[in-house]
Amino acid sequence: MDLQIALLLVQDGIVNGAIYALMALALVLVFSVTRVIFIPQGEFVAYAALAMAALQSGKLPAVLWMLLALAAITLVVEAVRQARGAEVDWRSTAVWAVVLPALAALMLLVVKPESMLLQVLAVLLLVVPMGPLVYRLAYRPLAHATVLILLIVSVALHLVMVGLGLFFFGAEGSRTTPFSEARWDIGGMTITGQSLVILGVTALLVVGMFFFFERTIVGKALRATAINRVGARLMGIPTSLSGDLSFALAALIGAVSGLLIAPVTTIYYDTGFLIGLKGFVAAIVGGLGSYPLALAGALLVGLLESFSSFWASAFKEVIVFTLIIPVLWWRSLNTHHVEDEE
């Protein structure tokens, strides 16, 4: 290995680490607010990437029917809950189950976007509502369950979403058109415009999330829910709506990640699982509670994967996932056991 190869590996590791950072941020956000280890996070990545590829090839993303089915089932469930005497917020329900799915259907069935900007908008409208809809159907009824039960539900949901991905998109992989075709040769190292787009969008999302949580009332409410769910509810914060919003942000981050990574690697229906799992390793480095440590962990995972692919490409996945063992061992020695809170 010489300096040029090392620089190329560092560049590749940083770009991959940016995607893993987004996955880690989404996982930490969802776990902090709802105690859900959201294993299907990677499926949003695959759905968005493959839906974009379908649009660019002139096809209708069949996952639209999944979104409409989720919306219809959610409306039925909310109506049954109200009939049983539960309080239902129909305004938020209308946003997630009526307005956004209707806009997605309008974009895909009537407008049929051809420009890249409209295609990105259509994909976001298609994927983002799935987050809160999945939360309402799969997790909200178990809001008081233990973390272990919620993890089992996540595994089951992951298997269902992977199977649906195979059904809707098929087994063939796809790539999309890059957002930038630019290339620069600097010191013998080629820097692509797409890699800069990935880093730039990741930086914008990280900064945007920082200001969202630090400067907005809704963000502060989410932080309060993450710190103490019971106390937040006593202060009048609707914790169920916090779950909706956290899953919507997770779906948004997953969709953006899929749109960013699809031009640089071939995405299959099950690719999102590996991406999400590496984001989970990064989140574990941060203890599933620290955003800065999760970002640092994502960068570490990206660099470790990049250099492992050079030294031992056949074992790069094993090396990356082995990183979780010493982290868990160290945390087991330095973390006091506490009883699971509501």
What backbone phi and psi angles, to 5 degrees, belong to 70? -60, -40
pLDDT tens-digit series, residues 243-267: 888 999 999 999 999 999 999 889 9
- Label residues 65-83 b or e (16+ Cβ within 10 Å = b): ebbeebbeebbebbeeeee
Mean pLDDT calculated for residue range 58-66: 91
Rg of the Cα atoms in the chain? 20
Locate tokens 């799915």: which residue?
101
Is the separation of the CB atoms in 13 and 131 below 8 Å? no
Confidence of residue 336 (pLDDT cuts 50, 70, 90): low
Residue range 196-217: average pLDDT? Answer: 87
Q: What percent of the chain has pLDDT over 70?
A: 95
pLDDT at residue 209 greater than cutoff 90: no
- 182 sits in which H/E element: none
Tally Cβ neighbours within 10 Å of residue 33.
26
Of 46, 16, 15, 28, nearest to 209 (Cα)?
28
Q: Determine how many CB atoms are found less than 10 A away from the CB of residue 217.
A: 7
Q: What is the pLDDT of residues 1-24, one digit of tens each?
A: 667 788 788 888 888 888 988 998
* Residue 148 or residue 318, greater confidence: 148
User: Exposed, middle or buried by CB within 10 Å (0-12, 13-18, 19+), for 311?
Assistant: exposed
Counting Cβ atoms within 10 Å, is residue 114 exposed (0-12), middle (13-18) or buried (19+)?
A: exposed
Between 239 and 282, the more confident residue is 282
Task: Take residue 111 and report the two structure tokens written for it.
Answer: 């407008």
For 100-146, how does the pLDDT look when each residue is reduced to its tens digit (9 = 90+)? 999 999 999 998 888 899 999 999 999 999 999 999 999 988 878 88
Contact present, 301 and 20 (Cβ < 8 Å): yes
